[in-house]
Amino acid sequence: MSGLTNYDLAKPTYAFSGETSEFEDVLMDHGVITKEQALLNKGMKDTEVARVLKKDAAAPVQTDYHNDAESDEGEGEGEGSDFDDDDDFLDSYRKQRLTDLKSSAEKKARGRFGQVFEINRSDWAVEVNTGSENGQWVVIALTSPAVPECEVIEGLLPSLADKFADTKFLKIRSTAAIERWPDANLPTIFCYRDGEMQHQLLGHDACGGPCSSAARVEWRLKALGVLESSDMEKDVPRDRAKVTVTKTNNHMSENRMGGSKLETYGTSDDEDNYDE
């Protein structure tokens, strides 16, 4: 296999060696890694690493008195430059590791959701009810091609899903979710957490009104506590816009869908005006 180092004792690509690099030596000197870890990272097998470590342990300690004397005589001349270089190197290494870990965490979160997923009626129990367990927020939009305002909301959701990748964004055709769901309530946004609906936005005005934007929808979801990481401090104003957010109340009807229960709520009398 060209380009690959084979450490197998039977057919090594190069002569077997337990040597470590200068970079690895610095890390070992400061306790960042062990020699075992360094050798394993080179691709050695466990048995090969054990052989090297056993050989090191059996080797007599050799003291170079001549070099030690020279080192003692020159002590202080370099003002600890070697140690300073090592410390600077390790400080740089630690900072890079923190940056890599943060980037990895962000990529992991973004890879979790980060987009709007379309579901069917049969998916509701798993994607919405079960999917919102353990404190996970699930935002699902009910839309219809017969309602022009729904196209606006569908166009805004992908940017929110990308920005808030830790929140699960879904969409479904209204009639596929709830039979005879009135078009007057569209677009509808349900917000689920811990397996139950926590909030709902009914109608275009509740979702931001005419000429709505991702920011206006974001503000409403933040005000409800859904987008907890949003840094918005106030709503994006709209001229003489009265936008109401309809919250969940105790009026509940049940709709059986494929053995699962979908909870739908009537219009609440409590309305919050989020426009300045």
Structural domains of the chain in order of their starting residue, each with its CATH number: 22-111 (no CATH), 116-273 (3.40.30.10)
3-state secondary structure 103-118: HHHHHHHHHHCCCEEE
**pLDDT, tens only, 177-202:** 999 999 999 999 999 999 999 999 99
* Per-residue pLDDT band at 66 (split at 50, 70, 90): low
4-8, 104-108, 118-122: lowest mean pLDDT where? 4-8
Query: Radius of gyration of the chain from Cα atoms?
Result: 31
Burial degree of 73 (CB within 10 A; 0-12, 13-18, 19+) = exposed
Tell whether the model's pLDDT for residue 210 goes beyond 60.
Answer: yes
pLDDT of residue 126: 96
The pTM assigned to this predicted structure is 0.52
pLDDT of residue 97: 74
